[in-house]
Amino acid sequence: MKPFHTILFAADFSENSKEAFHAACSVAIENETRIFVLYVDEPSLVPEEPVYFGQQAVQYQAVVPDKAHIEAIKQKLREVYAPGRPIDVEYERREGDPSREILRMADEIDCDLIAMGTHGRTGLRSLLAGSVAVSVMRRAHCPVLALRSAEYPNLAREIRVILHPTDFSVDSEAALKVARWLARDRGARLIILHVAALDVVLEGTATAEVDPRFYRDALDDLRRKVSGPDLKQPVETVLTRGFAPEGIVDTANDVGCDLIVMGTHGRTGLTRLLMGSVAENVLPRANCPVLIIKGAQGVSGLTVDDPSEQVLSVR
């Protein structure tokens, strides 16, 4: 299975963005993956003239950038975002709303993955870039790889430990399929995590209480399904209880995780909505890249190379 043949990377020249580019390259396939590096310029506006004294509103018009400016941006992209291994990279500059342009180009090139940082350069741009990442994650038709601001060293290190949080849904299985492929391809440890909700107690009586053995059995079943001789390290499982985003981030820190691979949807109803919320809460807290798989449809085009991967049913 080789899912990422076309990657769209959203660039903004920040240090975080450079780290995110290395993370994108780490999941690319040498001599097979093409990365499109996109920089979205903010429109340059000037007031229309003349402006009269006492005028209540000023009209602005966009300034069309000259060819020299466009070429300068592309040259800077080539210098800053150069892969360190044989990966085909193309550079594109556009103008407009960042999330809209990212999603538009993603559809145009039919990419398998969108990769980006979550923070911009400084000030308001930094805050806006976090919202751009969430907006892209919510609306993208493919998986999204996001990296939080570069506050920790070596975020772009080699992928040795992959954490997959699961709620045992079909959508989680789709994310697990990608996690397994990456673990096999990188020779990494694959750890499957389930964060069980705490019991709800009303008037001294626990409601919706589930025997922990149910979760352990479900995790063991998943481990048996995804284990195989093609994996260099045995699949591991972790069961913990508490608030899901905190449990995921804490476990990622405890195991020295290099990549979190998770879905955004749960089983049905409220659980389905909450899993999207979990992903959005993990994204700004994680100290490593987070690969978001938007439901089973996000990896519907993946192919299976060997029988050991046919155990996971992806729509």
Classify the phi-psi angles of 295: left when phi > 0, otherwise alpha if psi is within -120 to 50, otherwise beta.
left
Tens digits of per-residue pLDDT, 243-266? 899 999 999 999 999 999 998 864
Does 216 score more than 90 pLDDT? Answer: yes
Cα–Cα distance, 254 to 261 (Å, whole number): 16
Q: What is the pLDDT of residue 301?
A: 42
Tens digits of per-residue pLDDT, 120-179? 444 444 444 567 888 888 888 899 998 876 454 444 468 999 999 999 988 788 899 999
pTM: 0.78
Residues 6+ apart with CB under 8 A from 183: 162, 189, 190, 231, 233
What domains are there in the chain, each with its CATH number? 6-44+63-147 (3.40.50.620), 161-309 (3.40.50.620)
Give the residue-averaged pLDDT of 214-227: 95
Report yes or no: 129 and 99 within 8 Å, Cβ to Cβ.
Answer: no
Helices (H) and strands (E) in the chain, counts: 8, 14
Q: How confident is the model at residue 295 (pLDDT cuts 50, 70, 90)?
A: low
Tens digits of per-residue pLDDT, 298-308? 454 443 343 33
Q: What is the pLDDT of residue 304?
A: 35
Q: What is the pLDDT of residue 42?
A: 77
Q: How confident is the model at residue 62 (pLDDT cuts 50, 70, 90)?
A: low
Report yes or no: 20 and 75 within 8 Å, Cβ to Cβ.
Answer: no
Q: What is the pLDDT of residue 2?
A: 60
The gap from C-alpha 166 to its chain's centroid, in whole angstroms, comes to 16
Q: What is the mean pLDDT of the chain?
A: 79
- The tokens for 238 are 């972790």
Q: What is the pLDDT of residue 274?
A: 47
